[in-house]
Amino acid sequence: LKTIGDFAFNQCYNLTGDLFLPTLETIGTNAFYGCTSLTGEASLPKVVTIEMMAFYRCTGLTGLSLPNV
Protein backbone atom coordinates (compact mmCIF):
# COMPACT_ATOMS: atom_id res chain seq x y z
CA LEU A 1 0.00 0.00 0.00
CA LYS A 2 1.62 3.26 -1.14
CA THR A 3 -1.31 5.71 -1.18
CA ILE A 4 -4.38 6.34 0.94
CA GLY A 5 -6.70 8.49 -1.13
CA ASP A 6 -8.77 11.53 -0.29
CA PHE A 7 -11.54 10.88 2.27
CA ALA A 8 -10.62 7.15 2.42
CA PHE A 9 -11.38 6.75 6.14
CA ASN A 10 -13.16 10.07 6.70
CA GLN A 11 -15.11 9.89 9.98
CA CYS A 12 -14.60 6.14 10.45
CA TYR A 13 -15.29 6.33 14.15
CA ASN A 14 -14.79 2.57 14.58
CA LEU A 15 -11.26 2.57 13.13
CA THR A 16 -9.25 1.78 16.27
CA GLY A 17 -5.72 1.25 17.48
CA ASP A 18 -2.30 2.44 16.40
CA LEU A 19 -1.31 3.17 12.80
CA PHE A 20 1.80 1.45 11.51
CA LEU A 21 1.96 1.65 7.72
CA PRO A 22 5.58 0.87 6.74
CA THR A 23 5.13 1.17 2.95
CA LEU A 24 2.77 4.17 2.79
CA GLU A 25 4.12 7.20 0.88
CA THR A 26 1.12 9.51 0.33
CA ILE A 27 -1.88 10.41 2.52
CA GLY A 28 -4.72 12.21 0.77
CA THR A 29 -6.88 15.12 1.88
CA ASN A 30 -9.08 14.29 4.88
CA ALA A 31 -7.94 10.65 4.66
CA PHE A 32 -8.36 10.07 8.43
CA TYR A 33 -10.46 13.14 9.27
CA GLY A 34 -12.45 12.60 12.45
CA CYS A 35 -11.14 9.10 13.20
CA THR A 36 -11.43 9.73 16.92
CA SER A 37 -10.82 6.10 17.93
CA LEU A 38 -7.29 5.98 16.53
CA THR A 39 -4.95 5.94 19.53
CA GLY A 40 -1.28 6.18 20.31
CA GLU A 41 1.30 7.25 17.78
CA ALA A 42 1.02 6.90 14.02
CA SER A 43 4.27 5.48 12.64
CA LEU A 44 4.62 6.35 8.96
CA PRO A 45 8.31 5.88 8.10
CA LYS A 46 8.09 6.30 4.30
CA VAL A 47 5.44 9.01 3.99
CA VAL A 48 6.67 11.98 1.96
CA THR A 49 3.33 13.69 1.19
CA ILE A 50 0.47 14.53 3.53
CA GLU A 51 -2.42 16.51 2.09
CA MET A 52 -4.60 19.02 3.95
CA MET A 53 -6.42 17.97 7.11
CA ALA A 54 -5.32 14.33 6.77
CA PHE A 55 -5.47 13.78 10.54
CA TYR A 56 -7.79 16.64 11.55
CA ARG A 57 -9.86 15.81 14.63
CA CYS A 58 -8.03 12.56 15.31
CA THR A 59 -8.18 13.40 18.99
CA GLY A 60 -6.92 10.02 20.21
CA LEU A 61 -3.57 10.24 18.43
CA THR A 62 -0.76 11.26 20.72
CA GLY A 63 1.90 11.67 18.04
CA LEU A 64 3.01 11.22 14.46
CA SER A 65 6.33 9.74 13.42
CA LEU A 66 7.12 11.16 9.98
CA PRO A 67 10.89 11.05 9.46
CA ASN A 68 10.71 11.85 5.71
CA VAL A 69 8.36 14.84 5.83
Sheet strands (E) in 1-69:
3-4, 17-20, 26-27, 38-43, 49-50, 61-65
CA dihedral in degrees (1, 17, 10, 24; nearest 10)?
-20
Q: What is the pLDDT of residues 30-65, one digit of tens each?
A: 999 999 999 999 999 999 999 999 999 999 999 999
pLDDT at 28: 98
Beta-carbon neighbour count of residue 6 at 10 Å?
Answer: 15
Q: Is the pLDDT of residue 69 over 90?
A: no
For the question of whether the overall pTM of this predicted structure is more than 0.75, the answer is yes
Q: Is the pLDDT of residue 21 over 90?
A: yes
